């Protein structure tokens, strides 16, 4: 199994809850455990996350836009 698949599987196992709003990738994107060793390399949603999902997790639109900007910047540095 590839390293990427292992990371994706670990993040999904850790945070995904099928009962709450959002896909597993959206939930992982919104993960707030910055002390996790996989935080910087976690899988991220490539599509916009609906406001209803953001609202459920208590993330306001400005905070989400800042997160996306930082994720895009991090991807450019790789």
How buried is residue 28: exposed, middle or buried, by Cβ count under 10 Å (0-12/13-18/19+)?
Answer: buried
Q: Where are the domains of the chain?
A: 3-76
Higher pLDDT, 13 or 74: 13
Q: 63 phi and psi, to 5 degrees?
A: -65, -40
- Residue 77 pLDDT > 80, yes or no? no
In sign, the C-alpha dihedral spanning 14, 16, 20, 24 is positive
CA distance 37 to 49: 24
Residue 22 Rama label (left phi>0; alpha psi -120 to 50; beta): left
Determine the pLDDT at residue 17. Answer: 96
């Amino acid at each position: 199994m590839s390293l990427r698949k292992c990371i994706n599987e670990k993040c999904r196992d850790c945070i995904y809850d099928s009962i709450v709003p959002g896909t597993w990738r959206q939930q992982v994107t919104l993960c707030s455990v910055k002390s996790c060793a996989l935080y910087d390399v976690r899988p991220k949603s490539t599509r916009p996350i609906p406001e209803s999902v953001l609202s459920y997790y208590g993330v306001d639109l400005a905070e989400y836009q800042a997160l996306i900007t930082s994720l895009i910047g991090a991807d450019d540095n790789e």
